[in-house]
Amino acid sequence: MAALKARERAVAPYSKFKVGAALLTREGKIISGANVESASYGLTCCAERVALFKALTEGHKHFVAIAVVARAPGAPMPCGACRQLLAEYASQAQIWVADSLLPRKIKEFSVQELLPAAFVTVP
């Protein structure tokens, strides 16, 4: 529900594809975010990373889950860049995804499932 609410704050004038994300911490706190696009398209930041960067820079370290909501048949799946950051900073989090039209129909994945054999440390 926090991700659905966060989606309303998406800044997506180019793609019009609004995504909301919400992280649940071990302590029960919810930190949400939404995608922010740029006229220089490549600078766009996904909802998942906005939420994660907010949470990390507010001092949160332990995440139980991240919910991601967008108007996508089936459900929106996190992009590769977000999967990488989740593997590094929220490896234990469950990933809950849902279509905003059917927010109660949640699909659940683990980070390991979405990004096996992740690169997580600089050798």
Positions touching ligand THU (CB under 6 A) are 12, 15, 17, 19, 35, 37, 44, 46-48, 76, 78-79, 82
Q: What angle do CA 49, 51, 56 make, to 5 degrees?
A: 90
- Give me the least distance between CB of 81 and ligand THU, in Å please: 9
- Give me the least distance between CB of 19 and ligand THU, in Å please: 3
Residues contacting residue 35 through CB under 8 Å, at least 6 positions apart: 10, 11, 12, 17, 18, 19, 44, 45, 46, 47, 50
Helices marked H in the chain — which ranges?
2-7, 47-57, 80-89, 111-114
113 is catalytic: no
Of residues 26 and 71, the one with the C-beta less far from ligand THU: 71
Q: Which residue is catalytic, options 27, 37, 48, 58? A: 48
- Give me the least distance between CB of 25 and ligand THU, in Å please: 20
Of residues 26 and 74, the one with the C-beta less far from ligand THU: 74
Catalytic residue set? 48
